Amino acid sequence: MFDDNDDDIRPVTWHDGAVRIIDQTALPGRLTYLDLGTVEELIAAIQRLAVRGAPALGVAGAYGVALALQNGECDRIADLRAARPTAVNLMTGVDRASARIGEGFEAVLAEAHAMLDQEVTANRTLSAYGADWLLGRLGVQRPLCLLTHCNAGALATAGWGTALGVVRDLHARGLVEVVYVDETRPLLQGTRLTAWELDRLGIPHLVQADGAAAGAIVSGRVDAAIVGADRIAANGDTANKIGTLGVALACAHAEAPFLVAAPTSTVDLATPSGAQIHVEQRAEAEILGHSAPAASRAHNPAFDVTPAALVSALTTERGVAEIARGELPGALWTA
């Protein structure tokens, strides 16, 4: 396990027989920790987005299996695995920890701890690869203007971050001028979470309406967009928070790099393309709660799928694949 004195954010840990999470619904107003003592409590926290982000969900899933074994709730493991159907990491984390149930509780808990540590290490490595690739692609050594959508920082991972990890790496080199932060409706993960993380790290940023993103990119204010992912298909199609596709389209028009940052645990080689990715539909109230007429209904997909042709590159802990140039994610396994 990482040292408790490490000052990075740890959104999911194991503490005194419970899964401890940062309640992301309370941010930025309060930094609140919740100790979840049952699988039912963990499932509810996942579904209300108290814990979210693909890598963080993977770690939460692994710890959830330990919780189930400790409490005699193994009949809830399948429900835990299905709590967020788009994020492949949740399923992977549950499956990885479940494979050790026959060895007993301590083995399952050790597997979850190992998964947490591996995810943080992967994030730091992929961030360096991504920063190097971006500077090489742009051919510059000046501070960059970057754009990100949703939250792919330490809060969404086991620590450090993916898309924001690349930003952090560049910031440490003195190469970030400003980050344009899409507010990310309807739940404002950009406004509430990404801006909070950037403020905490002292990284200059501007929060903008989602609808302003395309204009910022096409006008030339943005050098590159960097996003995370909830699932990456074998062909490079990428599922991420709703609104990501619009960012990718604007980058394609402006010929600006669109970089996806994710650990290989988010790459699902068993899913051939984005057409097979199940996109979660969330509650209508998230959309209709803003004074819509009573008779109105809502279309509220949590994610959209960006075609591989629009993804300039994918940075993982195993290297960078230039997806738009025909390099498939699976090539990283043999690189």
Which amino acids are annotated catalytic? 230
Q: Are 307 and 237 in contact (CB under 8 A)?
A: yes
Strand order in the sheet with 238-241: 267-268, 231-233, 238-241, 303-306
Residue 330 buriedness (CB in 10 A; 0-12 / 13-18 / 19+) = middle
**Whose CA is closest to 246, among 202, 195, 184?**
184
**Whose CA is closest to 75, among 28, 50, 38?**
38
User: Which tokens is 111 given?
Assistant: 């597997």
The span from the CA of 57 to the CA of 64, in Å, is 10
How many CB atoms sit inside 10 A of residue 199's CB?
12
The amino acid that residue 6 corresponds to is D
